[in-house]
């Protein structure tokens, strides 16, 4: 048994200023707990911080330009995503 608990809640800082390049293939499940740029099938792209991926639902926080707000949507609405790794100090 481990004492690992995932980092729930909204990020405490804004997303990066520059968005990443759009990949050819991507999966939102690979981006859990990372700054993620989302290209939806319809509408404008946005920054997202996913905390849960379930059948028929992606849950997390969407950047409004000023703050993170809780936001959920259908993963079928995603065209592509790009994860931005959080820098760590080793």
Give me the percent of the chain exceeding a pLDDT of 70.
Answer: 84
**What is the value of pTM for the model shown?**
0.84
Mean pLDDT of the chain: 86
Average pLDDT for 20-36: 91
Determine the structural domain holding residue 43 and report its residue range.
Answer: 28-84
Is 23 a member of any domain?
Answer: no
Is 21 a member of any domain?
Answer: no
Please give the full DSSP string across the chain, using - where no structure is assigned.
Answer: --------S--SSPPPSSPPPPPSS--GGGGTTSEEEEEESSS--EEEEEEEEETTEEEEEEE-SSSEEEEEE-GGGEEEEEEEPPP---
* pLDDT value at residue 86: 57
d(CA 37, CA 4): 26
Is residue 88's pLDDT more than 60?
Answer: no
**Which comes out higher in pLDDT, residue 73 or 6?**
73
- 45: domain CATH number is 2.30.30
Question: How many structural domains is the chain composed of?
Answer: 1
Is residue 16's pLDDT more than 60?
Answer: yes
Contacts of 27 (CB under 8 A, 6+ apart): 81
């Amino acid at each position: 048994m481990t004492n690992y608990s995932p980092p729930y809640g909204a990020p405490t800082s804004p997303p990066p200023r520059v968005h990443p390049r759009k990949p050819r293939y991507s999966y939102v499940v690979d981006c859990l707990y990372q700054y993620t740029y989302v290209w939806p099938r319809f509408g404008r792209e946005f920054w997202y911080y996913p905390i849960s991926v379930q059948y028929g639902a992606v849950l997390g926080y969407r950047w409004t330009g000023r703050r993170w707000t809780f936001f959920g949507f259908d993963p079928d609405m995603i065209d592509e995503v790009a994860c931005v790794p959080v820098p760590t100090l080793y």
